Structure 1
Amino acid sequence: MELTFEIMHVFHLHNRGQFILARLLDDGLDFELKDSAELGGIPIYNYIDMPRLLDDNNEQRLDVFIFRPLKPMQEGSFAQGQRVELILPNK
């Protein structure tokens, strides 16, 4: 399964690692991260989080997710606004 995301921000938390904030562009799709998932060709943990971001109506945004790469990425691996595919294995 492939889902399209838009990169919003890439950041590093001291002693926690790198994180990728991305917006799901495919409406209404549920998904589950599994081992060997990749975001834009970067292997990611089977960990996902949803930040508490609010829209203009003060409602939680359910289209924004945080991913964590398995290995440190090089600077510039992703750019804000870049569209990437989340590849989910068929396991």
Structure 2
Amino acid sequence: RKLWSLRSIAVGLEVIHKKGLIHHDFYCGNILSDFVEYSFITDLGLCQPANVKPSQNSNKKIYGVLPYVAPEVLRGNEYTQKSDIYGYGIHCI
């Protein structure tokens, strides 16, 4: 059941990324489950297009819950879709 849940989360993240977006705040608190089959990614309020360069001010902000934030973001680099995947990997642990 847990693997099925992780799979449905991965599919949801793939849909977000295929639409050209970055979630920016992927962590367990933004995942809802129906406790039967499916899990859903929520809180899309920080989603931004992946191809838009952030302004200098927003580039300095770190969004999300610290353990789920990719190391490169903590070093000051911008968020990418790979940053979301890092958060997913932490969730899988």
**Under TM normalisation by the shorter chain, which class is it?**
under 0.3
Higher helix share: 2
Q: Relative contact order: is structure 1 or structure 2 higher (C-alpha 8 Å, sep ≥ 6)?
A: 1
Q: TM-score, normalised by structure 1?
A: 0.27
Q: TM-score, normalised by structure 2?
A: 0.27
